[in-house]
Amino acid sequence: MAIEVRPVGVEAFDDIHPLLLNFPTRKMSKEDWRWMLFTYPWSDSPHRGYAIYAEGKAVGFLGTIFSARPLAGRMERVCSLSSWIVVKEHRHASLSLVTPILKLRDCTILNPTPSPVAYEIFHKLGFQPLESERLIVPPLPGLAEATRALEGSIARSREVLESELTGDERAIYRDLSSSPVAQHVLLRRGGRKCYVVATPIHHRGIPFAEIQYIGDRDFFWENRILAHAALVRSTRAVGLWVDRRFATGNRIPLALRWRAPRLYRPTRKEITPEMIDGLYSEMMGLRW
């Protein structure tokens, strides 16, 4: 049976959606999938991924979420991959979806949630480790942390965020404020501020908040109890999940560790893992 691999845009969503129902993400509605992979508002690229068609029917898909981010001193085109799936009868053609991705030489490519099989494939194709584990941080403050939290404040309203965020962070908020899952928080204490973006995640039925972006990492870890307090209201989180690279140089007491292998292929060696966050990716729409 002849197959065709072609780029797909917003108009192809109804072709692709039946494939997406094979993922074990039962909390995702049809509109959630549409927003996450096809109608997110920030990209000017007409492409939303690549699909395999056989006899006019979509039998495989790999999502490409494009954005432009300031990395290592200049604006960088970034492609975050998502939702690689091929029906069993056509698995032999799976790599045909990867081939056009590998040709994006002017683009830093992220693979934030690869399956074990996908990790091995992309690693052999030259992708580098972006992350290896998350920290699971409980809301158990020391005395000094509790005191600092009492001295701080939290802002979540659109009005405050629009007025107090500036530059790239204001652009982030405007791009991502329509996300169906992202939680936006501004932490304040002692004349300093830290913008945080988090998303809810459940593990064995227990709610956590996964930190996707931290504007001032030193401030965040000094005042993490403020973040706990802000996010428990919206996510009921019993703890925070934070990629370990976001905690570089900080000692996090009582944190547990959980495997979280992620990959990337930077265009330049100057783009290090610590520069890469979870924004402008499937994390902004994924319910799990």
What string of pLDDT tens digits covers the 288 residues of the chain? 689 999 999 999 999 999 999 999 889 999 999 999 999 999 989 999 999 999 999 999 999 999 999 999 999 999 999 999 999 999 999 999 999 999 999 999 999 999 999 999 999 999 999 999 999 999 987 777 777 878 889 999 999 999 999 999 999 999 999 999 999 999 999 999 999 999 999 988 999 999 999 999 999 999 999 999 999 988 999 999 999 999 998 889 889 999 999 999 999 999 999 999 999 999 999 998
Distance of CA 11 to the CA centre of its chain: 24
DSSP string, 133-183: EEEEE-S---HHHHHHHHH-EEE--HHHHHHH--HHHHHHHHHHTT-SS-E
Considering the domain 3-131 in this protein, what is its CATH number?
Answer: 3.40.630.30
CB atoms within 10 A of CB 163: 11
Q: What is the CATH number of domain 139-254?
A: 3.40.630
- Domain segments of the chain: what residues? 3-131, 139-254
3-131 and 139-254, same CATH topology: yes
Does residue 243 contact residue 260 with C-beta atoms inside 8 Å?
yes
User: Which tokens is 152 given?
Assistant: 């701080």
